[in-house]
Amino acid sequence: MFRFEILKHDTGTGARLGRIHTAHGTVDTPAFMPVATQASVKALSPAEVESLGFEMVIVNAYHMYLRPGHKTIEKLGGLHKFMSWPRPITTDSGGFQVLSLSKTRKVKEEGIVFQSHLDGSSHVLTPEKCIEIQESLGVDIMMCLDECPPYPSTPEYMKKSVGLTTRWAKLCKEAQKKHDNALFGIVQGGVFPDLRRESAEGLTGIGFDGYSLGGLGIGEDSARTCEITESTLAHLPPEKPRYLMGIGKPGDIAQAVSAGVDLFDCVIPTRNARNGTLFTSHGKLVIKNARYAEDEGPIDDNCGCYTCGNFSRAYLRHLYMSKEILVLRLLTLHNLSYYGKLMTDIRESIARGGFSVLLNRVKSPGGKD
């Protein structure tokens, strides 16, 4: 059922317009996936997320495994029904969360031994278990189990890690039983181009429905992220979708699209909203700043979202300083509306042959708060 088609290539850059076909509908690419960590995009309903133009979300397999349990979700009809999201869903492998959330973990040949961040219980996440979890959830795009080493890591450690991730990827593919679900391999290798090439070639030798670039945006600067992304894409099959994991700054997204990336996800728009930082056509705006205490204008006069159409900066600042729950919803609505429009503008600019103009505009917004 899974199929990816390229509709148009941009003239002058590597950007491409595409479409992903899944059992739960299509996704126009380049696309951004809002993060629904606990099967929920924080502060918004599924209908609101869909209304902002998003066609796919990403859910955290690690969290679904620990709570409420993948078998429970399977008994309840699968993840789509469980969270009332009718469109495509991607899940990650859980490898990154084991790294970031577990204080006690051991990476072994057979998998990752870790303690739950919820109750301290011990678990072993193997490649086979990783696929079992994601297939039980019934998602559209699954990720292979990978090791995501911290930044910085030595070349010696990273080389061993790449070898382990490749061996796990092979076991993941062999464990796959439901082929309506797409399976992506995750390219690792840190900031070392030769190891990125080795990882990409090892995964393409196995053969996957798409390829993800993991282990970026965790400490290196944006220029290095872009450099590694572009060099790695040269070693991936152009007819397959490419997914840059965890990268979410608007300028970085546009730069990665110009290199040929099709999918993105990041907590930046939703987390920044909850922290009072907003994305606008003029740059970032920090709503708690005193300068907005009597400002009658909207967050962004170029934005048509519900928040900008109905509420002033002064009111939103009041809600934020008063710690009112409503502000979390209103600011999240705005930030995700910004991202939805950003991706629509990117796709439309590629379609009409004007992506380079948009790239320069996004990389250099009109101003900063």
CA distance 21 to 27: 7
CA distance 234 to 366: 33
Q: What's at 244, amino acid-wise?
A: L
Residue 131, burial from CB neighbour count under 10 angstroms (0-12, 13-18, 19+): buried
Helix (H) or strand (E) holding 308: helix 306-310
Q: Is 221 a catalytic residue?
A: no
3-state SS record for 116-176: CCCCCCEEEECHHHHHHHHHHHCCCEEECCCCCCCCCCCHHHHHHHHHHHHHHHHHHHHHC
Which is the catalytic residue, given 10, 92, 209, 262?
A: 92
Q: Is 92 a catalytic residue?
A: yes
SS3 354: coil
CB 149 within 8 A of CB 176: no
Report how far Cα 325 is from the mean position of its chain's Cα atoms: 26
Q: Please, what's the b/e burial string for 75-97 (b: 16 or more CB within 10 A of its CB; e: otherwise)?
A: eeeebbebbebebbbbbbbbbbb
CB 297 within 8 A of CB 65: no
Which is the catalytic residue, given 140, 146, 252, 265?
A: 265
CA distance 283 to 367: 5
Where in the sequence numbering do the catalytic residues fall?
A: 92, 265
